[in-house]
Structures are given as C-alpha cells and as structure tokens.
Amino acid sequence: MPTINSYVDEEGYYIRARPSGAGNITYKIKDEGNPVVWKHGLRDGDEISWSTIQSFKALGIIYTEESGTLGPDDFKPDPEQLEKTELPESDAEELFGILTA
C-alpha cells in the first residue's frame, strides 16, 4: 500500500508507492498540494489509497520527475479522470471542498 511521507529537511510531502510489476515510484506533491494533504487528515507514514493517488493526479498536484514509470506530462489535470476513480463520493467531496476553500 502506498504511504504519504514528510520530507526530513524541508516542508512538504511525497508518496512512496510500489505498484505490482512496475517497481518503486515516488510521487512528489506540489507546494499547492500540501494543504490538501493536511486538511484531508493525512500524516507522515499514513497509508494512502490508489484511488486517492488517482484523484491527486487528476487534480495535477503530484508528479514524478520521471523517477517512476510515468513522466510529468502524465499528470496534467484532467477533470474527466476524477469520474474514473474509485474514491468514495464523500472523500471526493471533501477533497473538492478543500481545494475550493
């Protein structure tokens, strides 16, 4: 299961994931995504669902700098992609509320 982690020497968060058959991926979270992480109740070491990662991708707040299997061009915001996620509706509404606050 992917985990959210805080940087030791700087502010911010990243996600460490190990998808089956793809090796390790480190998703960096953009500065504007840090409040989303905090307000969503995620803390250092917490497990994060793949659906939440998909939502973060669709919102354009995470990227890999080509350190994983996908490059930064794969993370452009795509509102249609939010409909394809399995994130529960209540969690999706919470993320939307955080972003629009």
pLDDT, position 44: 93
- If phi over 0 gives left and psi between -120 and 50 gives alpha, with beta otherwise, what is residue 34? alpha
Q: Please, which pLDDT band fits residue 99 given cuts at 50, 70 and 90?
A: low
- Residue 56 — pLDDT band, cuts 50, 70, 90? confident
Could you tell me the residue ranges of all domains in the chain?
3-100
Which tokens sit at 67?
A: 């350190």
pLDDT in tens, 60-82: 888 887 654 444 444 444 455 44
Kindly report the average pLDDT of the chain as a whole number. 76
Calpha distance 79→3 (Å, rounded): 24
Q: What is the pTM of this model?
A: 0.65
CA 68 – CA 17 distance, rounded (Å): 9
Q: Does residue 31 have a pLDDT over 50?
A: yes
Q: Which of 23, 18, 15, 21 is nearest to 55 (CA)?
A: 15
Question: What percent of the chain lies above the pLDDT cut of 90?
Answer: 14
